[in-house]
Amino acid sequence: MRTDRRVAAETKAVRTGFVPLFATGSLILALAALALPVRAETVIKSYGISTFGDLPLPADFKNLPYVNPDAPKGGEISQWAPGSFDSFNPYAIAGNAAALSSIFYESILSGTLDDISAAYCLLCETMEYPEDRSWVIFNLRRDVTFSDGSPMTAEDVLFSYELFRDKGIPEYRSVANAKFQSVEVLDPYRIKFTFTPGTPFRDMPAQAGGTIIFSKADYEANNRDLEKSSLEPFLGTGPYVLESFKPGQQIIYKRNPDYWGEKHPLNVGQNNFDRIRIEYFGDDNAAMEAFKAGVYTFRNESDPKRWATGYDFPSIAAGDVVKDVIPSGNIAGGQAIIFNLRRAQFQDPRVREALGLVFNFEWSNKALFYGLLARINSIWENSEMAATGTPTPGEVAVLQPLVDEGLLPASILTDEVRMASVSSEDRALDRKNLRAASALLDEAGWTVGDDGKRRNARGETLRMAMVHSRTDLLPVMNAYVENLLALGVDASFEIIDDPQLQERASPPNFDFDALPTTVVNGGLEPGGVLKQAWASVAKDNSSRNRMGYADPAVDRILDLVEAANSREELYTTVKALDRVLRSQFVIVPRYYKKDNWVAYYNMYERPQTLPPYALGELSIWWYNAEKADALKAKGVLK
C-alpha cells in the first residue's frame, strides 16, 4: 500500500454501477437493495505521487530535509558558461539557448534532490488518480501568479500542453501524441489528463505533472513562437526573472520579490540568492583566469589537470577561495563518443568495436587526468542498473523471447557483458589493441593501402571526422586521433563554435561522423524518456538520438522498461538493455568523475549534509554578507 493511500483523509473511493436499459420496477429495487455495483474504481487523492513505493515526506511537511529553512536571502552568486548564446528559449531546436534559461518556469509537480521517485504538488494543491494511473486530475492552487502578477489557471496549463504537443521538439511531440488521449479543463482550477489505453501508465501522472507552464495571454498577445529563438523569455511562474543581459557575454537573473511560492514547503530554504550572474567565455582557460581575478565567484571544475595543478593561486593559500571535493551519489553521466550510424562505414559492428579498441583511457588517465577519473563501461555506470557478468535469470527472461524470434543472437544469453577495452597506461598506443583492431577491420573488408589508409572494396577511405566546441577535450581527443591514424583511419577532430555544433549535430542535419557527447540514460529511474534516445521512431528526428540508433529488439525492451511495476523489475530490464547496447559497440565509452570538484569565494555557505543527487549551489546554498564584506575590504572582490 502507498503512503498516500494510508491517510484516510487523503483517500476517497468512487463506486459506479451499471443498470441495463431494460431493467424496470422491482428489478431496479432489487439491485438497489443488493447494492452490488458491477465495477468499482478507487480514486486516490494525494499531495504527490511516487513511481514505486511510498512518498517519503508526510502531507504536512514544512520544508525539504536537506535545506536550511532559516537560510538568509540576499547577495549574488556568479558562474561561467562556454561560448555564446542568442536565445532565452530553451525549448526550440533553433538558436543557442542561454545558460539557466529555464529558470523562469515551473511545472505542476516538483521532484526533490534526495529522492528519485517522488514528485510533489507545486502548482497544484492535490492530485487525483485511479489505482491503474490511467488518468490524473490536478487541483491547481489559486494563489499561483505569473511574474507579472497575473493569475495562472487551468487554461494556461491546457494551452502549455497543447503548445508543446504541437510545436515542441520532435521527441516530445511523439510522446504527447502517442500517450495522451485527452486533456480537458474541468473548471478554472481543475484539469484532467487522460492517457491512451495500452500505454504503460506508471510514469504518466508524473509526466503530465512535468508540463512546463506558460502564460497563454502573454504568449498570444506578444506573438511568441515556441519553435523560434528569442531574446525575450516567455512569461512563467518561477522564482527568478531576467534583470539584464549583454548578448553573448553576460546574463543576470534576479529573484522576484513578489514570487507567489516563496513560502511553499518545497521552496522554504531555497532560491536564496537575490541575483544569479552568468559570465560567458570563449574557452576554459580564459574562464579560469577570470575566476582567479574574481570576475565570477563559483566554479565547478571538470578538468582533472587543472584541478590537480591550477588551484595554487594566492587566494587559495589565503583562504579567500575555498577548494572542496564534495561526494556525488548520482549516476555517471553517459560520456561517450557516438558514431553516426547513418554513415555506411559504421554499419558493421566489427568496425565500431575496432575503433573503440584504440581509445586508451588508462594512458589518458595517467598522463592527462592525474589518475582522477574512472572508466565508463556501462551507460548506467555507478548504479545498480549496470549489467555485470553473465545474465541473471531475470535478464534471461527479458532476452529469451527476443532470441527465439531471431532479434538477438543466442550468445547474449550466455556471454559475459562487454567491457570497455583495457590498454597500457605506459604509452598512448597500445600495440596489443592495435593488432586486435587491425584484425577486425581486415575481417570487415577495410584493408590498408600503400598510403597507409584503410579502404573498402569500392576504394572509399574509412573516415571518422569528429567535431566539438569544447577546447578542453583537445588533449584526449588528439591522442585518440593519433591512434586512429596509426590504425589507418582517416580521422580528425575539429573545434567549431557552439552555433555550428548545434546546427550540425541536430535534426535534420546530423552532419558528423562521430561526436564526443553525453548519451541519454534516463537517470536513476529510467522510463519513457529512453525512447526519445534509443527507439526506432526517434532515429531521424530527435536531438537525443543523434547517433540514429534503431533496433527492433531494443524497441521491445524499451516497452518493458516503461511498463515495469517495481524497482526490481525496472533494474533487471535496464540491465538487459544495457547488455544488448554494449554488445553492439554503438558508443566508445569515455570516463567520469565520481565527485564534485568545486572552488568558490569564501562567502557562501551550505547545509551540512547535501542531497545525494545534486550539488544545489544555486538553490540551497546561501550568501554570508559579513564574509563578502571582508573579501571586499581585502580587495579580493570588487
Mean pLDDT over residues 420-442, rounded?
97
Q: How far apart are CA 94 and CA 226, in angstroms?
A: 10
Cβ partners under 8 Å of residue 105, min gap 6:
212, 213, 214, 234, 236, 237, 238
What 3 state SS string does 71-91 have? CCCCCEEEEEEECCCCECCCC
Q: Read off the pLDDT of residues 495-504 as tens digits, 9 standing for 90 and up.
A: 998 889 988 9
Cβ partners under 8 Å of residue 228, min gap 6:
89, 92, 94, 95
Q: How far apart are CA 339 and CA 353, in angstroms?
A: 11
In which band, very low, low, confident or very high, does the pLDDT at 463 lie, cut at 50, 70 and 90?
very high
Looking at residue 532, its pLDDT comes to 86
Average pLDDT, whole number, for the chain? Answer: 91
Q: What are 163's three cell numbers?
A: 503548445
Query: What is the residue whose three cell numbers read 536565445?
Result: 87
b/e per residue 347-362 (b: at least 16 CB within 10 A): ebebbbbbbbbbbbbb
> What length is written for the chain?
638
Domains and CATH numbers, the chain: 1-46 (no CATH), 62-297 (3.40.190.10), 334-592 (3.10.105.10)
Cβ partners under 8 Å of residue 12, min gap 6:
43, 45
Query: Is the model's pLDDT at 177 over the cut of 90?
Result: no
Looking at residue 8, its pLDDT comes to 31
Mean pLDDT over residues 292-318, rounded?
95
pTM of the model: 0.83
Looking at residue 171, its pLDDT comes to 66
Q: What are phi and psi of 228, to 5 degrees?
A: -115, 150
Query: Is the model's pLDDT at 528 over the cut of 90?
Result: no
Q: Is the peptide bond before 508 cis (omega within 30 degrees of 0)?
A: yes
Q: What are phi and psi of 599, to 5 degrees?
A: -135, 140
Mean pLDDT over residues 538-544, rounded?
87
CB 378, CB 574: distance < 8 Å: no
Amino acid 554 reads V
Report the 10 Å Cβ neighbour count for 410.
12
Mean pLDDT over residues 383-393, rounded?
96
Q: Would you call 340 helix, strand, or coil by DSSP?
A: coil
Q: Give alpha helix (H) positions in 214-360.
A: 216-221, 284-292, 304-309, 314-317, 349-357
Q: Which residue has the higher pLDDT, 174 or 150?
A: 150
Mean pLDDT over residues 618-632, rounded?
97
Residue of 198, 254, 301 lying closest to 562 (CA atoms): 198
Strand ranges across the sheet with 334-339: 490-495, 463-468, 514-519, 334-339, 587-589
Query: What is the residue whose three cell numbers read 504503460?
Result: 200
Q: Which residue has the higher pLDDT, 523 or 231?
A: 231
**Longest C-alpha distance within the chain, in Å?**
98
Q: In the beta sheet, which residues pair with residue 276?
A: 77, 253
Alpha-carbon distances of 155 from 126, 196, 220, 367, 454, rounded to whole Å:
18, 22, 13, 58, 61
Decide the pairing of beta strands 76-82 and 275-281.
parallel
Query: Is the model's pLDDT at 540 over the cut of 50?
Result: yes
Cβ partners under 8 Å of residue 488, min gap 6:
438, 441, 446, 448, 452, 453, 454, 462
Task: Give the DSSP H/E element, type plus range, for residue 171.
Answer: helix 170-179
Q: Would you call 550 helix, strand, or coil by DSSP?
A: coil
Q: How far apart are CA 615 and CA 320, in angstroms?
A: 21
Q: Which residue has the higher pLDDT, 93 or 136?
A: 136
Burial classification of residue 485, based on how many CB atoms lie within 10 Å of its CB (0-12 exposed, 13-18 middle, 19 or more buried):
middle
CB 126, CB 136: distance < 8 Å: no
Burial classification of residue 576, based on how many CB atoms lie within 10 Å of its CB (0-12 exposed, 13-18 middle, 19 or more buried):
buried
Report the 10 Å Cβ neighbour count for 32.
11
Report the 10 Å Cβ neighbour count for 21.
5
Q: Residues 502-506: contacts with CB within 8 Å, 24+ apart?
A: 502/95, 502/96, 504/467, 505/467, 505/543, 505/546, 506/93, 506/543, 506/546
Report the 10 Å Cβ neighbour count for 202.
20
Mean pLDDT over residues 202-208, rounded?
93
Cβ partners under 8 Å of residue 451, min gap 6:
none
Report the 10 Å Cβ neighbour count for 567.
16
Q: Read off the pLDDT of residues 308-359 as tens digits, 9 standing for 90 and up.
A: 999 999 999 999 999 999 988 888 877 999 999 999 999 999 999 999 999 9
Query: Is the model's pLDDT at 36 over the cut of 50?
Result: no
Q: Would you call 623 helix, strand, or coil by DSSP?
A: strand
Q: What is the DSSP letter of 151?
A: B
Query: Is the model's pLDDT at 10 over the cut of 50?
Result: no
Mean pLDDT over residues 124-128, rounded?
98
Give me the half-sphere count of Cα atoms (radius 13 Å) on the Cβ side of residue 42. 10
In which band, very low, low, confident or very high, does the pLDDT at 603 lie, cut at 50, 70 and 90?
very high
